[in-house]
Copies of this chain bind each other. A is one copy, B any other.
Amino acid sequence: MARTVDPEKHRARRLLIIDAALTCFAESGYAGTSTAAICRRAGIGSGTFFHYFPTKQSLLLAILALGTDETRAWFAACPADGSPIAVVEAYLDHTSAQMADPRMPGFVRAVGAVVGEPEVDAALDEDTRVLQDGLEPWIVRAQEAGEVRTDLPAHDLTSWVLVVLDGFLGRLATDAAFTAEKQAGTLRDAVRRLLAVSEV
């Protein structure tokens, strides 16, 4: 009898589909992308698609989980020493670097608009929760170190860092002249100003 032929090959093909889907979603949105379009881009039949993912939604959830895991891993691998505000800025740089792939901003925007499907909503909620929970402790430490203003609670400050970050991603998606490489510095500057102790 024959069992799993090659788990590595399986994983590779799975990633191939995920990659094709990422491109399609970024180009046409989630609802605007048909499974047939993903199959065409990936060069597979629809039977193969549904062999790897039971539903179109499960594919989206798999991609989202990949991103959430990545965020979790980044904060887990984050060095505990050094200036806390440097960690915040390092994360901003990390995100900017990720957005060098021109599909990413479009994907983020496309996925943010998927609403009404409870499982997707839950996945998106968890994604922002992981990010917020990863960032907030560093803001707290920065406040304790006197590096960051204390007139707003750390939770609110963290939310506002994410506000700027989300706006940044959105602009990347819609404005061709606005690129991650050119604006990464200003992003750091904007967040530094947002968090600065000095009253303006």
Given contacts A28-B115, A110-B115, A193-B200, contact A178 B159 (CB under 8 A): yes
Q: Please determine whether B115 and A27 come into contact, CB atoms closer than 8 angstroms.
A: yes
Among A9-17, A50-58, A61-69, A163-171, the stretch in contact with B: A163-171
Q: Which residues of B contact A90 (CB under 8 A)?
A: none
Closest beta carbon of chain B to A141's beta carbon, Å: 19
Q: Which residues of B contact A186 (CB under 8 A)?
A: 152, 156, 160
Q: Please determine whether B190 and A116 come into contact, CB atoms closer than 8 angstroms.
A: no
Q: Is the interface of A mostly helix, strand, loop or mixed?
A: helix
A44 sits at the interface (CB 8 A): no
Q: Please determine whether B174 and A159 come into contact, CB atoms closer than 8 angstroms.
A: no
Q: Which residues of B contact A36 (CB under 8 A)?
A: none
Q: Which residues of A contact B (CB under 8 A)?
A: 27-32, 106, 109-110, 112-116, 124, 128, 152, 156, 159-160, 162-168, 170-171, 174-175, 178, 186, 189-190, 192-194, 196, 198, 200
What are 28 sample pairs from A and B whose C-beta atoms fall under 8 A apart? A27-B116, A29-B113, A29-B114, A30-B113, A32-B115, A32-B116, A109-B112, A112-B113, A112-B170, A124-B174, A128-B175, A152-B186, A156-B186, A159-B175, A162-B171, A163-B164, A163-B170, A163-B171, A163-B190, A165-B167, A166-B171, A167-B167, A170-B170, A192-B200, A193-B193, A193-B196, A196-B200, A198-B198
